[in-house]
Structures are given as C-alpha cells and as structure tokens.
Chain A
Amino acid sequence: MVKNKYFYYLFLITALISVINYVPRSLIDRRFDGAMMSILISIPIGTVLLILFTKLMSKFPQQGLPEILNGNLSGFVSRPLLVLYSTIWFVAGLITILAFVDITMRYISSDVPSYIVILGFLLIICFSMRMRTESILYGLEVLLVLNLPLIIYYLLKGIFNPYFSWDAVRQMVTYLWDIPHYSSVAKSTFVFTGYINLAIFNRVFENLKVRHVWLISLTALVTLLIAFLMPIGFSGVEGISKHVYPWFTTADSLRTKAFIIERVLFLFYFTYLTFSLVSAITSWHITLELLKGAFQSKQGKDQGKNTKKVVDWACIIIFSGITLLMDNLNQYTMYKVGQIFLDVRLIGEIMLLATIFLVFRKLKRGRST
C-alpha cells in the first residue's frame, strides 16, 4: 500500500510528458485560433473530471478497473470494454516512444538506424512494465525527485534570459478572446490526464483522498502556459510554427556557462529521456494489467497464473511488433496520429468515467433493494 502523495506523481509525470506528446505543438498550430482560451477552458474541465474520477475510484478501495468491471458485469461486457480501454493506454505509450525515438534520431544519434534505438527502448520498457505496481510508483518518485530541480533550472534559465521576448508572449496573450476548437481543448486537458492511471494504480492506494485539488489545477495551468508560451518567447509568434519540435528548439536556444555542458539541449534531452521512459512504462503497465484482467478466467488461481504469463509474453511481442511497424511512418503521419489520439482520449476518459459510474449505481441499487 502506498501513500496518497503518489497520486500527485502520477499527475505530474503526465503533465511533464505532454511536451513530448505533441501538446505544445498542437496548441502552437492553433495559436491564432483559440489556443489561449482553450488552455483556460481546459482547467475547469480537467479539474471536474479529476475530482469525479478520484471520488468514484475511492468508492472501490484497492480495486483496479479489471476487478470493478469483472466483478460487477458479465464477462461478455467487461472483457471487450477492458480491451477497448487498454488500447488508449497502449497508444499513449506508443506515441511517447515513437516521438522520443524521432527526437533521438534528430538530435543525438542520426547515424544509428532507428530500429536499434527502438529496440533499446523496448527492451527497457517491456521488462520494466511487468514489475509490481508499487515498484513502478517508487521508481516514478525517484526519477521525478531527481529531475524536477533540473526542469525548474531550465525554466528559470529561460524566463530570465535577456533574449526572451516578452513582447511576443504579450502579443500571444492578445489572442485570448478567440473561440477555441474542441481539439485544442482536448489537447490542453491532456496535462490533467494523469489521474486516469488510477484505473490500475487504485489497487495500491489504501484509502485514496486527494487534498489540495487547487494545487493540481494551478500546476496544470502553469505547465500549459509555460509549455505554450515559452517556445514563443524564444522563437517568435510567427517563427515558432516553423520548428518541428518547439521545446527542443527552445532548449537548444539556451546556454549555460557554468553547468556541466554548455548546451542545455543535451541536459534537457536526458531529463526527458527518463521522463518518457517512465511514462511509457506506466502506460504499458496499465495496458498489460487491463489485458490480464480481460483474459483472466474468473475461477481457479493456478490457471490464472499461467494465463498471466501467456498474456505477458503475448503483449511484449505484440507491443514491440506494432512499435517497430509504426516506425515506418513519416513525421507528418506520426504527428497526425498523435493529434487524433489526443482528441479521442478526452472522449475515452469521459466514457471510462461513465462506465464506472454506471457500475457504481448498479452496485448501490443492488444493495438498497
């Protein structure tokens, strides 16, 4: 059993990884088209979803989504649902890996074929995603504690840089009153989406209570504003759209005179390397657990242990296979896939919330009659 603080880590890692998962770039593409407003709108939406979901999950103490669905619905309904939901997490992990492999290819090792980089990533992720749920949370904590000070250092370095253009930022803010699109709202709410990982991680929380929700909302707002506005301050309101990876361009524009190595880009890269690995591990761990739940037979423990192993290896092979196949996509298709995922994700989350709510109501009625 773990303490409540691990919930905040789950939130934080997703908020931080949004930089890799195309959130800033999607917002920048719509910057004259309501991106600012969608950031503001996403805060109440995200907060409400977060509160509802955590409240609902606390009604099912120490149960994950598989237990909730399998225990209260018939197998014909619960299994397809689990498989369906697991794909969302799978795609989330997949996009993080592929986007980061692309970044690695561009900035670090363009001489090495990309499948080797992917194999290296897959090796780590596939073996770590089979760890115990608690172990993953502990690993997450250590990585965040080590890397957060660095991230804060880069941000301060950027904001107090004399070449940071506040006029460009203010010019962006004047586009506040444009009417936002659904897709940019969906993309902004991604920073909140860490709470949804409770679907599995709820198993290890003894008695989940989320205090200081305002702190989460504030962090999300600040994260979004920085993720969106800081690249604009460095690359200009017009120029920013020309850059494929706005955040890596920003990191490349920073220089430190007295810290390990002059180019902040490489420090930033290694910080985000750990973030994307641990984020992919969390996502795929959830996928794996959901699939295990879907293919587990309800009775007989020994048999259950055997199917678990089969599911494990089947998943490792299938996940790796799909990742290697997806590597052939070019950068524009990849970006498109990332965008579609971000759009679909919000609906998926609301559906998941509705499903659990229905189960909860059914359970309550069953008790009262």
Chain B
Amino acid sequence: MKPTFRIVLILVVVVLMLPIQACKFKDIDLKLFVIAMGIDVSEKSPDKLSVTLKIAIPQGDPKTSDEKVEILTQEAVSIAEAIREAKSRVDKEIDFGHCKAILFGEAYARKDLRGGTDWALRRRDIQLLNFIGIAKPSAKEVLTVQPPTERIPANSILLALSKDGTESPFIVNIYLYNLYRRLQEKGWDPVLPVIEFQTDDEFLINKIYLLDKKKIQVLLTPEETRLFNLLTTKDLKTNFSFRYQGDKMDYNVEHSKSNYKIQSNVKDKSSIDYKINITAELEENQQELPMNKTTLEKISVAASEEMNQQVEALLKKIQKSHLDPIGWGLRYEATHWNNSTEMKEWTEMYPKLDFKVHASIKIHYSGMLN
C-alpha cells in the first residue's frame, strides 16, 4: 500500500466519524446546572417525595453577575420520576455534574434515607464529593435561603460545609461516600450535620444527628457537637469555657489531638480510655484575675477537669443511644483477630463499657495581658 493511500484512508475514517461524534452533546447555554438539591416527604401525601432543585443560571460575565437562581420543586413517587417531571417544566437540560450538596428533609430522614443515598450513588453523574445534610424543617425551605453575602448560587451552604469559608467548630462535614460507607460498615454509624432555616437570608449549622443504618435517631446539642468534633478531628479551631473559683474564663485551642484505646483484657471491666491533648491560650478572663505561672497551671487543671466531665457525659449519651458514630466497633474489630466472633463480643460488651477520659489541657499563654 502506498503511503499516500494510507493517509487518505485515515482521513476518510476520521471524516466519517465526525458527524456521529457530537450528536448528543449539549452546549453550555442549553444546560441548567443543579448546584444543590433537597429531598423531602411530600406534605400532601406521605407516599410521595418532593424533590427540590436549586439551579444556577449560567451568566456571561462573572464580574458583574448578580445571582440568578431558580428553585424548582416537584412531587412524585420517586426521585428519578420527580426529576423527569421537572425536566418538562424547564426549557434547558438539567445537569447534575455540578451538584455539590444533597439535603434530606428532617421528615424524610426520620423515615428512611437509604433510598435517596442509593439514588445518588447509582447515578453516574452525581459526585461522591457531595455534602450531605439534614435540613430542618424541610429541604425546600433551607434551599430557598439566600444570604446577602452569597455571590454564587448556593455557594454559602457549600462554603460553610466544606470549611473553605467559615471554620466553625460546630460544623461536621460528611461527604456522600463517607455517609454510604458508614451505612454499610459494621461498627461505624453515620452522623449528619443539621442545617436549620432561620430567616429568608440566614441558616444555622451547629448540630448533628446520629443515625442508625436507616434513619436519624439522636440529636446532639451544639455543645456536644463541638466536643464530638474535638474527638474526631485534629487541631479543631475553637474556644472552650470553664470556671475557675467561680470566675468565668475562655481559652482558644491552638492544637488539639485526641485518641482512644479500647481496654478489654479484664472481663466485665472493659473500658474506652480517651486521651485528649490540647495546648491553648487564654482568650477571656471576665473578672480579670491576675495571671502568673502558677495560676496558669491551676486554671489548666480546672479546665482539664471540666473537659473530662463534659466529654464523659457526651460519651455516656452516645452509649445510651446504642449507636457508634465514632467507629469504636470497627476499631475493636481491627485490633482483634478472631474475625468470626469479634462482632458478637463487641455488641455484648458495648452497653456495659466504662469510659475513662483523660484530658490534659495546657494553657501556656495568657494572651496579651497578664
């Protein structure tokens, strides 16, 4: 075969492929991008779902753009059905490739949220990096919130949950894959942040729900949520208040680290031993108690003791709920080699466990004042 003929042949093949290549692709101005979506139980009939889509409308110039959002709510028997029905209410193709948050309404999550999770994972175009949250009172209301600080549609929820923006110690962020693995795992239960509707331009994220393998169970208070965060993340940026001789004080955490060990050698005396190490600086000293080396040491001890009590109360509350949001069960399994019996041992042991918390807080710096 002559080389020219070969080149001609390749060209012919390429040209033949051209018309079929782009037959189904849609241009960006023919698409509507869903940024966040919510799933609720329908108010009219309990068998139906109500799916809310928060859709960003593409703008030409990003500098002068004012937010353009469309919120679409559709009721149907399933999520897939609701989206198909919503499609006939808009002029452009709905695209989920940029969806970054999926909110479950509180009523929906109280029934069973596995359906929504399964749908999101099964869809090929929904990212596993979606933030999941429980919306209170409903996903629809939370999605309508438009804070005045928001520049890009739905960005405020995403910034808050991802901690790219505000770094609140009361926010726990859970990605879709993280929720799913905890729904499946033995000995590790999911938690989800609660996003509350306050007013039309404000929402509040400062609590978490503990879940079993199906639905939401126990709500933690903001204070407990912060402690939960302290136990599960490193270097939490937060303050903690404590009392020293009737005097109210606050310290700011510089470094924090917590780890635990499950002691199960002695029968019926098993315990989970927590060690919490914090280095901190004094931030507020309401009665202006003068500070020196010894008082710093004394207030450190007082703070540690208060921390011990608070954490122990939280752990007891978690234990009482029979849930395992920190993954102690998984740790027990991971450190034991009797794979066929370990889970049974753990479920018997867990309700009887004792908690020993040893917090050592070092307030090593009194701030800019003595």
Contacts and interface: CB of A to CB of B under 8 A. Distances in A.
Interface of A: 32, 106-107, 110-113, 116, 119-120, 123, 127, 162-163, 165, 167-171, 173-175, 177, 234-240, 242, 249, 252-253, 255, 257, 262-263, 265, 309
Contact of A163 (B127, B175, B234): B175
Contacts of A162: 233-234
A284 to B, nearest CB: 18
Top 3 nearest A-B pairs (CB, nearest first) are A236-B181, A239-B184, A170-B334
B63 interface: no
A234 B129 contact: no
Contact of B184 (A32, A119, A174, A238): A238
Interface stretch (B19-27, B108-116, B137-145, B312-320): B19-27
Contact of A252 (B20, B177, B186, B233): B177
B24 A106 contact: no
Interface stretch (B43-51, B275-283, B303-311, B335-343): B335-343
20 contacts: A112-B24, A116-B20, A119-B17, A120-B17, A162-B234, A165-B327, A167-B331, A167-B334, A173-B334, A177-B337, A235-B181, A236-B181, A236-B188, A238-B184, A242-B121, A249-B177, A252-B128, A253-B128, A257-B164, A262-B129
A272 to B, nearest CB: 17
Given A163-B175, A174-B333, A252-B177, 12 more contacts: A32-B339, A112-B21, A112-B23, A123-B13, A170-B335, A175-B339, A236-B188, A237-B186, A239-B183, A239-B185, A242-B184, A257-B164
A120 B183 CA distance: 40
A249 B24 CA distance: 26
A254 to B, nearest CB: 8
A239 B175 contact: no
Contacts of A262: 129
Nearest to B124: A106
B330 A171 contact: yes
Contacts, number: 95
Nearest to A32: B339
A111 B330 CA distance: 41
Interface residues of B, number: 38
Contacts of A106: 124
Interface centre among B10, B180, B334 (most CB of A within 10 A): B334
A242 B23 CA distance: 33
Nearest to A243: B121
Contacts of B183: 239
Nearest to B330: A167
Contacts of B20: 113, 116
A253 B124 contact: no
Contacts of A238: 181, 184-186
Given A112-B24, A236-B182, A238-B185, A255 B177 contact: no
Interface centre among A163, A168, A171, A263 (most CB of B within 10 A): A171
B238 interface: no
Given A116-B20, A171-B333, A174-B334, A110 B13 contact: no
B24 A171 contact: no
B25 A236 contact: no
B178 interface: yes
